Amino acid sequence: MLARVAANIAVNMSRILLALLGTCMVASAQTATVSTTQNSAPQTITLHEALDRARGNSVEFRAALTEAGLREADKTIARAALLPNANFRSEFLYTQPTSIASAQARQDVAGGTPIFVANNAVHEYVALGNAHQDLSGALLVAYSRSQALAAVARARAEVARRGLVVTVVDTFYSLVVAQRKIANVQRALDEANHFLDISQKLERGGEVAHADVIKAQLQANDRRRDAREAQLALDIARINLAALLFKDFNLNFIVADDMSTPEALPARDEVTALAQKNNPDLAAAFHALRAANFEAKSAKLEYLPTLGFDYNYGLDASHFAIQTNRIRNIGYSASAQLNLPVWNWFATNARVKQATLQRDQAQVELSAAQKKLLADLQTRYDEAAASQQELELLRQSAQLAADSLRLTTLRYQAGESTVLEVVDAQNTLTAARNALDDGELRYRVALAGIQTLTGNWNP
């Protein structure tokens, strides 16, 4: 008995040890997976890769493409209404026979006279192919209108695409600037710490007052606070770009810094010609006016008659057979319909008024789009030209500020300048570096803004 109990205890202990070992192995595997994910090298994303990713993930851009696809389908449907259509119909009809039917008719299940005057026989079999065609000016105008609306949807999809370019360029290079400002503030912190060390050494040598050390310490503390704010701005910029580029929440990436090598600004005449030719906002307004004109024509055509034609070929007989009593059951019939509008309580008149109001509004919107294009073109080109001209001045200012700080620090060590001059030189250099980065971002975004008007060259 004791041996059996000891054996059971040994078996249970073995199971517990195996379970604990398995749990440890699973936990180790999970830890290794997480560690591998966290330690994986971040992928480097260029601007063009960012644009490709954003086009696949942008809800607004995808919605514009969907709308364009819907309007193309509407155009196909409207074109199909202009063409003959064919259908096949198979049917069996049973009608109660009249009570005075002859005995012979009662014996013949297909014979007799149907009780309803609209039906042809007690048993009626129908298997017909039908070709139908409607002739109406409204259908032709509806097809033209669907073409115009499809062109509007394509233009708006292009507007969304170019607007997405501006958004991605701004967000992408905002992250680049945030990375640069981290480097700027780190250099400023190193310079502040270096100056603090110099002031402390001079104080120990009795060459400067303790107030200089306090001022240097305050400057170093400000730079540490700036470093935390710059890191926060970098994190926010990375999150904003990740939301545009990835389907899941992925922050393990870096961006390629090519902001210092932008493309040159084209000539004003070239930009103006491209904008007048390829501007999608103007194209959308123009095609919207075309659609409104077709809508007005379609409403007026409702006053006119319409024609319809039908051609039927097949079986419509009391027997489901090609021939009955040597009479061929297969045949054809044709019909034509003329529909004359007579009275509909002024509904057509109201639709004509609606279409006229929409056409007038579309004309006003087209004029506004033309004026807005000229205003936006002038404004954005002037901003791009100004920011391009200022870049060289900003680079020069950053270089001069660096030289000024170096010389001022040497003069302070020689006792020829004050601590305030050194601190001012440090702040000037940091501001100049940040201004240069902001200037390059401004020029990039201005180029992308012009690209939304022209569309034939990339920022």
Model confidence pTM above 0.85: no
pLDDT reading at 413 higher than 50: yes
How sure is the predictor about 260, in pLDDT bands with cuts at 50, 70 and 90? confident
pLDDT reading at 23 higher than 50: no
Q: Which amino acid is at 452?
A: T
Helix (H) or strand (E) holding 339: strand 330-339
Q: What are phi and psi of 127, to 5 degrees?
A: -145, 90
pLDDT of residue 32: 38
Helix (H) or strand (E) holding 396: helix 347-413
**Residue length of the chain:** 459
How sure is the predictor about 456, in pLDDT bands with cuts at 50, 70 and 90? low
| Radius of gyration for the chain, computed over Cα atoms and rounded to the nearest angstrom | 41
Rounded mean pLDDT, 274-282? 88
Can you give the three-state secondary structure of 291-330, one letter per residue? HHHHHHHHHHHCCCCEEEEEEEEEEEECCCCCEECCEECE
Rounded mean pLDDT, 195-207? 90
The full set of domain ranges for the chain reads 2-40, 155-304+361-454
DSSP annotation of 125 reads E
Fold of 155-304+361-454: Outer membrane efflux proteins (OEP) (1.20.1600)
Q: Is the Cβ–Cβ distance between 113 and 35 less than 8 Å?
A: no
Q: Bridge-partner residues for 86, per DSSP?
A: 131
Rounded mean pLDDT, 201-221? 91
pLDDT tens for each residue of 296-320: 999 999 999 999 999 999 998 888 8
Q: Is the Cβ–Cβ distance between 162 and 396 less than 8 Å?
A: no
pLDDT reading at 452 higher than 90: no
Q: Is 120 exposed, middle or buried (0-12, 13-18, 19+ CB in 10 A)?
A: middle
Q: Taking the CA atoms of 167, 173, 174 and 176 in sequence, report the sign of the dihedral they define.
A: positive
pLDDT tens for each residue of 7-20: 454 444 445 444 44
Q: How far is CA 438 from CA 170, 174, 191, 449, in A?
A: 11, 9, 22, 16
Q: What is the mean pLDDT of the chain?
A: 86
How sure is the predictor about 111, in pLDDT bands with cuts at 50, 70 and 90? low
Q: How far is CA 111 from CA 99, 101, 121, in A?
A: 13, 9, 7
How sure is the predictor about 117, in pLDDT bands with cuts at 50, 70 and 90? confident
pLDDT of residue 198: 92
pLDDT tens for each residue of 363-395: 999 999 999 999 999 999 999 999 999 999 999
pLDDT tens for each residue of 331-362: 999 999 999 999 999 999 999 999 999 999 99
Cα separation, 322 vs 326, in Å, equals 10
Helix (H) or strand (E) holding 277: helix 268-278
Q: Is the Cβ–Cβ distance between 229 and 187 less than 8 Å?
A: no
pLDDT of residue 104: 53
How sure is the predictor about 440, in pLDDT bands with cuts at 50, 70 and 90? very high
How sure is the predictor about 278, in pLDDT bands with cuts at 50, 70 and 90? confident
pLDDT of residue 263: 77
How sure is the predictor about 21, in pLDDT bands with cuts at 50, 70 and 90? very low
Cα separation, 364 vs 374, in Å, equals 16
How sure is the predictor about 39, in pLDDT bands with cuts at 50, 70 and 90? low
pLDDT reading at 102 higher than 70: no
Q: Is the Cβ–Cβ distance between 80 and 189 less than 8 Å?
A: no
